[in-house]
Amino acid sequence: MSKRKTKYVCQECGYESPKWMGKCPGCNTWNTMVEELEPTRTAAGKGAFRTGAALSSKSVPITDIQTEDEARILTSIQEINRVLGGGIVPGSLVLVGGDPGIGKSTLLLQLSGILAQQEHKVLYVSGEESLRQTKMRADRLHMSSKQLHVLAETDVTHIEKQIEEQQPKVVIIDSIQTVYQEEITSAPGSVAQVRECTAAFMRIAKTKGIAIFLVGHVTKEGSIAGPRLLEHMVDAVLYLEGERHHTYRILRAVKNRFGSTNEIGIFEMKDIGLTEVQNPSEMFLEQRAMGAAGSTVIASIEGTRPVLVELQALVSPTSFGTPRRMATGVDHHRVSLIMAVLEKRVGLLLQNQDAYINVAGGVRLNEPALDLGIAVSIASSFRDKPTSPYDIIIGEIGLTGEVRGVSRIEQRVLEARKLGFKRAIIPEKNTSGWEHPQDMKIIGVSSISEALRVVMEANE
């Protein structure tokens, strides 16, 4: 088979050249020329190009299209099932990203072994390790099954042949930056190689109904390495987050065509691999300091389940001309907004104070229901008055100082009750329309001033 021709196209203006140039002659920008494959012409006509779809296809009314619920592949790892929206969808293309050494390969090798034990044939393609190295890692994870096939290969053509021969249910590609297509002269991991290889795996997944997982490296900024188009091509994008020197890992969906993008799965790294955390709220609160100023507990909804986390604030006089505002785990712009509301509506003089906000446990949260907890933590640290360790604080804050209602209040409160909390300070709007737990006091507040008065007075 003759090689297909390649060309270099400027990603800014579309200028085409048969060879690479550092500076584009069309728009005078540097390092924008990227190698691409030229489309092949068919014998049907001079202007016709070969595509994946048949040229004779016709449109049909949407009411005439027959649908059927295709069974998902369920694994024994419930956290992965939750993040994927209820299991692995046959024919889906999933991209898994994360920092080096965070546990991407470990998680996917564990998933491969579990699926193989469930009698699903799995092909694990390693472009970074030899067969012996993969076997050593599998032995450490206690993964062994005749249904788990391992291939050390980086050529897409050879990988496709193996998929044709083996006919697996699931394919793992570790990683997309190591595989290459022979027709493209650029090195593996380049923009052209990553794009074309991903397109090839997408065609395999859609035409054969095979679920394919791609491992993706990340850049210094934390995004998937390669073209941004890569995330648009796949069906789901999962990020494995966490500090390398901490044991907990969070699998977060940032794109999912078959489920919610708000779901997270929480794992703990151990000698035998990643294990599920059954009760994340208890895990996030296990090292909480009782009766410390600036510490509050908030309830966040992550996908379909509530998660309780400790929010810590430290407010101290600044030694600089401009006070510092730092936030870990929450949006620092939102923290600055809440501090402005506290100054204007409550009268706290925070303009000469440094403020440091931290969500304990390394989790990142982003929802309005955290606002009231942030405000109470800042006020508690500023006044050096601890809040009650048995209070759960929920609510959104407006610019006029009002406390607005939040969604799914009943789930949040019931999760707090299970962990032994005695009081819930919630928006006044959320106090009606549901049955309150008898052994828990529900207090509705309508303003941030009222909330601070209730919280601070109860602990004096």
Residue 25 labeled ligand binder: no
Q: Are 397 and 369 in contact (CB under 8 A)?
A: no
Name which of 114, 78, 119, 135 is nearest 303 in CA terms. Answer: 78
Please state, in angstroms and rounded to a whole number, the distance separating the CA atoms of residues 213 and 224. Answer: 14
Cα distances (Å, whole numbers) of residue 434 to 298, 392, 409, 431, 437:
20, 18, 9, 8, 10
* Other Cβ atoms within 10 Å of 415 Cβ, number: 19
Residue 105 labeled ligand binder: yes
Q: Are 162 and 121 in contact (CB under 8 A)?
A: no
Residues 6+ apart with CB under 8 A from 428: 403, 444, 445, 446
Name which of 310, 260, 271, 291 is nearest 384 in CA terms. Answer: 291
Residue 98 labeled ligand binder: yes
Burial of 201-239, coded b for 16+ CB within 10 Å and e otherwise, reads bbebbeeeebbbbbbbbbeeeeebbbbeebbeebbbbbb
Please state, in angstroms and rounded to a whole number, the distance separating the CA atoms of residues 261 and 253. Answer: 5
Residue 19 labeled ligand binder: no
Residue 174 labeled ligand binder: no
Residue 99 labeled ligand binder: yes
Residue 407 labeled ligand binder: no
Q: Backbone dihedral region of 170: left (phi > 0), alpha (psi from -120 to 50 degrees) or beta?
A: beta
Residues that constitute the known binding site = 98-105
Residues that constitute the known binding site for ATP = 98-105
